[in-house]
Amino acid sequence: MGATKEDLLAATLFFKAVFPVMQVLLDDDPKLHKSFQDVHATVQIGAFDNERLMACHLIFDHGKVEIVQGEAEDPDVRLTFKTIDKMNTMFRGGMALPGMKFKSLGLLVKVFSLLLGLKLMMPGSKPKTEEQKTLKVKLSLYMITRALSVYNKEGVPDMVNWTTHQPDRIYQFIVEPYAKTNVACYLRVKGGKTKSGHGIYERRTPFVLFHFFSVDGALKVLGKEVAFVEGVEKHCVETIGSPEYACQLNDLMAVLQAMLT
């Protein structure tokens, strides 16, 4: 029996929205930064859907990583799951292990440490230090804005219906104090097309601004410790702009978070 449409969509989101934030870990996590600064290698990750292998590969180049969809020609590490469902289970933090082929045990260990680093985004992860808290918020926001764009590009009806008739609009996310956190990202929507980006979009005033007053406030809202409306009441976040579209986008984000965690 093959994978469901939901499983395939989740796997696509992991490959195209979750994996790219590995670069944030490599840049901002001191241990991972040091571990990968001299790595030049290719790692393939995939799972079978009946006879078809769904895969992507990660090209590491001295602290940088590029995510490429599809199989690699001669990867240094291959991680292959028997089913799409098992792969999704692992990336959601569950118990599932892939088959492994590798040229270097040391590289394999580094790759698993990087994959484990992504679990910082999981709801059960409770970082203690300010640096780790900020990193969790940054990873989560970068991932979710990218996932929203992928969701649209994959033709999911609810997302497509939401984006199709919108003119050029910016949905901006900022975590204060921005000069210290350096956490900001956005989703641009224009006539059914979407693009996510990091930082503050300078060429247009946001149609909706999600303004988090602190890292701790962002953690409470993103971790669903408080509902969005409650988060507004408790001064964790404010929205500036269209309340209707802010609520609609928040609902779409909740769907994606449930799918990926």
pLDDT tens by residue, 159-173: 999 999 999 999 999
Q: Which residue has the higher pLDDT, 214 or 227?
A: 214
1 has a pLDDT exceeding 70: no
Query: Which are the contacts of 161, defined by CB distance < 8 A and separation ≥ 6?
Result: none
CB neighbour class for 45 (10 Å; exposed up to 12, middle 13-18, buried from 19): buried
Quick one: which H or E segment has residue 165? none
For the domain bounded by 130-260, which CATH number is listed? 3.30.1050.10
Place of tokens 């910016």: 170
**How do the domains of the chain map onto residue ranges?**
5-121, 130-260
Q: Identify the three-state secondary structure at position 16.
A: helix
CB neighbour class for 8 (10 Å; exposed up to 12, middle 13-18, buried from 19):
middle
The rounded distance, in Å, linking the Cα atoms of 129 and 97 is: 30
Q: pLDDT confidence of 20, banded at 50, 70, 90?
A: very high
Q: Is the pLDDT of residue 225 over 70?
A: yes
> Cβ atoms within 10 A of the Cβ of 13, count?
23
Question: How are beta strands 237-241 and 208-212 bridged, if at all?
Answer: antiparallel
pLDDT exceeds cutoff 70 at 94: yes
CATH class held by domain 5-121? alpha beta
> What are the backbone dihedrals phi and psi of residue 184, each rounded to the nearest 5 degrees, phi first?
-155, 145
Mean pLDDT taken over the chain:
96
Could you read off the pLDDT of 154-212 as tens digits, one per residue?
999 999 999 999 999 999 999 999 999 999 999 999 999 999 999 999 999 999 999 99
Which residues, in sequence order, are bridge partners of residue 94?
none
Give the angle subtended at the CA of 159 by the CAs of 194 and 24, to the nearest 5°.
50
Work out the percent of the chain whose per-residue pLDDT is above 90: 92
The mean per-residue pLDDT over the stretch 138-146 comes to: 97
Asked, colleague to colleague, whether 5-121 and 130-260 share their fold, the answer is yes
DSSP bridge pairs for 99: 80
State the pLDDT at residue 69. 98
Determine the Cα–Cα distance for residues 107 and 213; give it in Å rounded to an integer.
40
The least confident of 69-73, 211-215, 229-233, 250-254 is 229-233
For the stretch 107-127, pLDDT in tens is: 999 999 999 999 999 988 999
Residue 261 pLDDT: 85
> What pLDDT is attached to residue 208?
98
